[in-house]
Structure 1
Amino acid sequence: MQTSQLPAASSEIRHFRKSTSRIALRGANDGGRSIVASQRKQDDITVRRLKTIIGWSCVVFVCLTMLGPTHAQETVRIPEVTDSKSLEDFITAGPETWKSREGMSSAIQVMLLLTVLSLAPAVLLMTTSFVRIIVVLGLLRQALGVQQLPPSQVLTSIAMFMTLLLMTPVWTEVYNDAIQPYTATNSTLSIDEAWAAGVRPVRRFMSRQIDIAGNVDDVMMFYQYSNQGGPPPATYEDIPLQVLLPAFMLSELKVAFLIGFQIYLPFLILDVVIASVTISMGMMMLPPVMISLPFKLMLFVLVDGWRLVIGMLMESFAPYS
């Protein structure tokens, strides 16, 4: 009987050895695959680093190539400062010496020019009706409860087109009074006179919007913080431009928030009513926004909301004359 059990035991041993060898081979294959995958990952990282180094090298080479002829064309003379007396004379010489070729290199001039050009569009927009329009449209989107519709690009485009429509009389006067006379062939107008003539219509537009909105106190607040000596200004012409600009922006934000509150109020009441109904029906787990959004859109479409909002914005600006 023991003899008959030996073949069965030997067959079980052979089966166990085969299964063990298969498991070992499978583990070896998995380990090899992981090693190959890690090696490929290291190769990808190395190739990516090489591409980055080559790209930055090309950028540096192009910059050096462009800067080379610039320095070769003209040599900027920097005033020599040999002792403390010469340094004091150079510092106290004034802005005229600093702005000369001897006092400022071409690289600094290019940097200042690029800085002015990059900030000029934003500064120009802050002197227009763009601030009020874009803030009101943003509050309208939040009141509807739709965070991404209309997209920001659409709202910005609408604000830009409305700004172009409202600011056309102002910009036309700036062109006729300042740009066209200054760029004429036989023009005797200096840059300071052209600047004063061009700023005058913009100052009149900002002053009129502040006056109509009743935010004159903001102008006086910024005027006091600017440490202007003497009596308070009698007219807006006596207020410096650096005081009028922040006062105008603050006034625009105040008016925009007032208009936004008037737009927000009907939708807020609708949210409260729908939330009360859902709670009274026992649907506490259901967000009220999911139910109120269709009703908000229906209300906005039925009353022709876009025409009302845009018309309210257009009428909120005092006509330029």
Structure 2
Amino acid sequence: MRAFDKLRGRGLARYALAALFLLAPFVSFAQGIPAVTVSTAPGGGQQYSLTLQILILMTAITLLPGIVLMMTAFTRIVIVLAILRQALGAGQAPPNQVLIGLSLFLTLFVMGPVVDQVNTQAVQPYMEGKIDATTAMNTGVEPLKRFMLDQTRESDIATFVRISGGQGFDKPEDVPLRILVPAFATSELKSAFQIGFLIFIPFVIIDLVVASVLMSMGMMMLSPVLISLPFKLMLFVLVDGWGLIMGTLAASFYT
């Protein structure tokens, strides 16, 4: 037993030495990473160390899905497309993956001017070292903030200002993001359901006509949905429905 314990102890020691040998490059690399420091920039702002910048970047990446959902055109687009699928009554056609992908790329199309402004005014100057991280962040938020203000109803902003206990603001640009983001999301939900209501009306009329015809013919056991679905698909294709929906959604953000 003692011999076995000695052999086991030697084996553990070998594994420990091998682990230290493998981890040595990473330890030396970690020692070369600068500490988390905040210094004063030449222009009077704050300049963050590389470690803190990487930490902020990773945090922003984790928040990216929420930003895409609540601060862009994605919410309105995906809800309208989901209502359209429900109005057609075609089950899971088109599937969720297609709707999400179409909504994402249409969002990129709508947000293209905003992204270009952020890149020109904030990202490129920061990459060239002309501005610090704080200035780049504040400058990059401005185009996105203007986009949200253009799409947000004043009543929704007033509602969240009242809930927060604020006294109002002198101009729209003074509204902070903590109030603007929920107000923008509320306005987008209202706009999406208004557009969805207008889309639903023609398909409901087709369902009512088909149901009335079947009742008058005494075919009460036949499902009206089974008969109305081909007519709804035919109507949607003949009027170039997808082109109208995509064009209307994109144009609704620039009216």
TM-score normalised by L of structure 2: 0.76
1:127 aligns with 2:127: no
Which residue of 2 is the match for residue 248 of structure 1?
Answer: 184
User: Partner amino acid for 2:198?
Assistant: Q
Q: What 5-or-longer segments of structure 1 have no aligned partner?
A: 1-63, 76-95, 97-105
1:138 aligns with 2:82: yes
Q: How far apart, in 2, do the equivalents of 1:312 and 1:244 lie?
A: 25
Q: Report SS of the residue matched to 1:286.
A: coil
Residues 169 and 113 (structure 1 numbering): CA distance in 2 closer, same or farther, change over 3 Å? closer
Q: Name which of structure 1's ranges 176-185 and 136-145 shifts more when overlaid on structure 2.
A: 176-185
Which residue of 1 is the match for residue 193 of structure 2?
Answer: 257
Q: Report SS of the residue matched to 1:282.
A: coil
Residues 181 and 281 (structure 1 numbering): CA distance in 2 closer, same or farther, change over 3 Å? same
Q: Report SS of the residue matched to 1:277.
A: helix
- Report the alpha carbon displacement of residue 303 of structure 1 after superposing the two structures with TM: 1.4
Residues 125 and 180 (structure 1 numbering): CA distance in 2 closer, same or farther, change over 3 Å? farther
User: Partner amino acid for 2:200?
Assistant: Y
- Pairing partner for 2:154 from 188, 200, 216: 216
- Are the aligned partners of 2:68 and 2:74 in contact in 1 as well (CA < 8 Å)? no
- Pairing partner for 2:139 from 187, 194, 197: 197
- Report the alpha carbon displacement of residue 298 of structure 1 after superposing the two structures with TM: 1.1
User: Partner amino acid for 1:258?
Assistant: Q
- Report the alpha carbon displacement of residue 124 of structure 1 after superposing the two structures with TM: 3.2
Q: How far apart, in 1, do the equivalents of 2:26 and 2:98 lie?
A: 46
Equivalenced residues, count = 216
User: Partner amino acid for 1:183?
Assistant: M
Q: What 5-or-longer segments of structure 2 have no aligned partner?
A: 1-18, 32-37, 39-50
- Pairing partner for 2:206 from 248, 259, 270: 270
Q: How far apart, in 2, do the equivalents of 1:156 and 1:125 lie?
A: 11
- Report the alpha carbon displacement of residue 253 of structure 1 after superposing the two structures with TM: 0.9
Deviations 1:134-172 (A, max 9, x none): 111111100000121111122222212211111111111
Larger Rg: 1
Which residue of 1 is the match for residue 107 of structure 2?
Answer: 163
Q: Report SS of the residue matched to 1:204.
A: helix
Which residues of 2 match residues 6-45 of structure 1 at below 5 A? Answer: none
Which residue of 2 is the match for residue 178 of structure 1?
Answer: 122
- Pairing partner for 2:97 from 139, 147, 153: 153
- Pairing partner for 1:207 from 149, 164, 176: 149
Identical pairs, percent: 48
Q: Report SS of the residue matched to 2:92.
A: coil
- Report the alpha carbon displacement of residue 111 of structure 1 after superposing the two structures with TM: 9.5
- Report the alpha carbon displacement of residue 192 of structure 1 after superposing the two structures with TM: 1.8
- Pairing partner for 2:230 from 294, 303, 306: 294
Q: Name which of structure 1's ranges 112-121 and 237-246 shifts more when overlaid on structure 2.
A: 112-121
Which residue of 2 is the match for residue 237 of structure 1?
Answer: 173
User: Partner amino acid for 1:195?
Assistant: M
Q: How far apart, in 1, do the equivalents of 2:61 and 2:247 lie?
A: 34
